[in-house]
Amino acid sequence: MIETRDLTVSYGGVEALHATSLEFQAGQVTALIGPSGCGKSTFLRCLNLMNREIPGCCVGGSILYHGRDVNTAKENLFELRKSIGMVFQQPTPFRKSIRENILFAPKRHGLVAGREQEDALVEESLRAGALWDEVKDKLDKSACALSGGQQQRLCIARTLAMRPDVVLFDEPCSALDPISTYTIEETIRAIAERGICAIIVTHNMEQAARVSDRTAFFYLGDMVETGDTKQIFSAPRDARLADYLTGRFG
Ligand SMILES: Nc1ncnc2c1ncn2[C@@H]1O[C@H](COP(=O)(O)OP(=O)(O)OP(=O)(O)O)[C@@H](O)[C@H]1O
């Protein structure tokens, strides 16, 4: 679905991510793990070309999305981000109603026409975000009145409303309590079961083990080891990964 080849990122001429080649499949969750500052978020942000908006940031190498290199100046970001959605660490609802949060991007892209289609998309997206039952009677209320966990699920639902085939999660649970975290992990699994490629940056090793099929470990700007999550956690090959998993650093 999406693949990087020799991807590098530098900020102001200093390389923060060294040549990284990784592949991500449809229907799988991949966790990106590693100590603070190792380049996980930098890597994730490349996949929907977000680093491009950071002054002084330079991205080299290839990002193949359905086999097409999107790391080119002519790539249409508006179109690309329709299919590669992103959920951030802090929930970022718009200051609008729950319903308008869901419909904002689909309307801009002309994906819905008429009340019937809008209602169907709102319900489908909120169900996929595991939020429908809690909000179905207050769709016109402000999204900002929801709890933090509900806001994050709304942001997931809003992303899914665009029917993306890749969803990037940058530490989506770090601001949430354990129950909200559990619900979001279940939602991420359900998203992958629908065939979406989900990629999650997390500091929480238990979360990576629970939620992901595959894991990639980053260290000081290098992608050091990748493999099936079970293997990574039970039989790490690289000594730095083994140390990280046993809490010797990070
Ligand atoms: N906008 C930026 N400008 C300059 N340097 C940056 C920027 N963003 C990240 N960096 C640098 O790139 C390196 C990797 O940072 P990045 O945020 O990708 O790491 P991370 O593994 O996601 O860390 P954390 O887990 O703490 O979020 C760090 O040295 C960081 O200082």
Token pair in block for residue 35: 């100590």
Burial class (CB in 10 A: 0-12, 13-18, 19+), 215: buried
Assign 177 a pLDDT band (cuts: 50, 70, 90). Answer: confident
Is the CB of 41 inside a 6 Å radius of any atom of ligand 1? yes
ipTM of the shown complex: 0.96
Q: Which helix (H) or strand (E) holds 125?
A: helix 114-128
C-beta of 220 in contact with ligand 1 (< 6 A):
no
In a domain, 153, yes or no: yes
Does the residue 250 lie in any domain?
no
Q: Hey, whose CA ends up nearest to atom 29 of ligand 1?
A: 37
In a domain, 127, yes or no: yes
Atom of ligand 1 nearest to the CA of 34: 21
Here the CATH number for the domain that contains residue 174 is: 3.40.50.300
Q: What is the pLDDT of residues 182-209, one digit of tens each?
A: 999 999 999 999 999 999 999 999 999 9
SS3 247: coil
Is there a domain that residue 15 lies in? Answer: yes
Instruction: Give the single-character DSSP code of 175.
Output: T
Number of domains the chain is built from: 1
In ligand 1, which atom is closest to the CA atom of 14? Answer: 5
Q: Is residue 193 part of a domain?
A: yes
pTM of the full structure: 0.95
What pLDDT score does 250 carry? 64
Q: Look up residue 64 and give its two tokens.
A: 């193949």
Tell me if 199 is assigned to some domain.
Answer: yes
Let me know if residue 119 belongs to a domain.
yes
Instruction: Please report whether residue 249 resides in a domain.
Output: no
- Look up residue 157 and give its amino acid: A
Residue 88 Cβ inside 6 Å of ligand 1? The answer reads no
Measured in angstroms, how far is the CA atom of residue 152 from the centroid of ligand 1? 23
Q: Which structural domain, as residue segments, surrounds residue 110?
A: 1-244
